[in-house]
Amino acid sequence: MTAELAISVRGLTKIFDGRKVVDDFDMEVPKGAIYGFLGPNGSGKTTTIRMMCGLLTPDAGAGHCLGFDILSEQNSIKENVGYMTQRFSLYADLTIRENLDFIARMYRLNSRKSRVSEALVNLGLADRANQLAGTLSGGWKQRLALAACMIHKPALLLLDEPTAGVDPKARRDFWDEIRKLSAQGVTVLVSTHYMDEAVQCDFIAYIAYGKKLIAGPASDIPGMIGLHTWRVTGPALADLELALRKDPDVGQVARFGAVLHLSGTDKAKLLALATRYNAEGVYTWVHKEAELEEAFIYLMTGVEDNFVSTKS
């Protein structure tokens, strides 16, 4: 089985200043998959990624990345993994070409010149190769960073919130690129906050406060939580929203423009509520499939509650 896994880690734990940033984390990423890594800010996504690519030594746990041990074969992992950091981390005072060339030299690539030129053409930056990287716009910086971490043709890409602060068009282009790479057999692990990006992933893991809450194929996630969702339309939705938020039977209320999505795990109670409102005739309640978005909002609220209760 392990032959088909790009990443397989068990029990990863990292402690900073006595605080468990990552707590007993397991993950299995199949080869060639796009694996979405979701969770709120500060939930330990970056730390987990850094442990998996050999940048950080876990305090506990073990595992393999591309068949190399994450505890003892960090150098082999680095040779075969492309890691794109959250912050733009290329040299602002070097040109685009110089940056790519420098990274290529770090990997001691053969035929470096042609690899760099090829990357520049793929990027569409060939005519701006001598521009300083610091003068690029956010979207271009991110594409350059992706090109830099792809320059050694890695088998696994680790992308840490690659599209943060990038406009929707650039995000779409970026994901086209990711899917193209995935089709070529590259495994991609990508952390993100965006639901529209999570939907694009084959598998998803959700992490909060260092603990993994759920993981599985993207389409199975809502079913795994057992969430039931109703779509509500009608006048004066704001008042209804306020009223429903106080109702303990409704797990979660989310507003989507002129529509309310109500979700909860208790199917019977929700059905009773829907029947009551539909009988009144003011609002229309329609049952719908729970989607990822509802699932994650549900997870997030649930976790915050857990966190508050463990604190008190």
Partner 1 sequence: MRWRFSPARLFAVLSKEFVQMRRDKITFVMMIGVPIMQLLIFGYAINSDPRHLPTLVEMADEGPVTRAILSGMQSSTYFDFQGIVTSPEAGDKALRDGSANFVVVVPPNFERDILRGLSPEILLSADASDPTAVGGGAAAMASIINTAVTQTLTGPLSYAAGTPPPISVVIHRQYNPEGNTSINIVPGLLGVILSLTMVMITAVAIVRETEKGTMEALIATPVRPLEVMLGKILPYVLVGYVQTIVFLIASQVLFGVPFIGSRLAFFVGFNLYIVVNLALGFLISTVARSQMQAMQISFFTLLPTILLSGFMFPFAAMPGWAQAIGSAIPATHFLRLVRKVMLKGADITDILGDLTNISLIMLVIVAVALKRYRQTLD
Q: State the Cα–Cα distance between residues 147 and 84, nearest whole angstrom.
A: 10
Q: State the Cα–Cα distance between residues 49 and 56, nearest whole angstrom.
A: 9
Residue 57 vs 72, nearer CB to partner 1: 57
Residue 56 vs 227, nearer CB to partner 1: 56
Report the residue from 6, 148, 170, 215 that binds partner 1 according to the rule CB under 8 A: 148
Residue 49 vs 274, nearer CB to partner 1: 49
The residues in 34-53 that bind partner 1, with binding defined as CB under 8 A, are 53
**What would the x/- binding string for partner 1 be over residues 101 to 140, using CB under 8 A?**
--x--xxx--------------------------------
Ramachandran sector of residue 39 (left: φ over 0; alpha: ψ -120 to 50; beta: rest): left
Which of these segments, 86-94, 170-178, 187-195, 297-305, binds partner 1 (CB under 8 A)?
86-94
Q: Which residues pair with 263 in a beta bridge?
A: 229, 252
Q: Which residue has the tokens 């040299």?
A: 91
Task: Please state the closest distance from residue 106 (CB atom) to partner 1, in A.
Answer: 4
Which of these segments, 18-26, 79-87, 115-123, 258-266, binds partner 1 (CB under 8 A)?
79-87
Report the residue from 20, 30, 32, 55 that binds partner 1 according to the rule CB under 8 A: 55
Q: Give Cα separations from 191 to 61, 220, 229, 231, 262 (angstroms).
A: 21, 19, 26, 29, 27
**Mind giving me the DSSP string for 98-147?**
HHHHHHHHHTT-TTHHHHHHHHHHHHT-GGGTTSBGGGS-HHHHHHHHHH
Strand arrangement of the beta sheet that strand 228-233 belongs to: 252-256, 259-264, 228-233, 284-288
Task: Please state the closest distance from residue 4 (CB atom) to partner 1, in A.
Answer: 25
Task: Please state the closest distance from residue 75 (CB atom) to partner 1, in A.
Answer: 6
Q: Using CB under 8 A, list all residues that contact partner 1.
A: 53, 55-57, 75, 78-79, 81, 83, 85, 87-92, 103, 106-108, 148-149
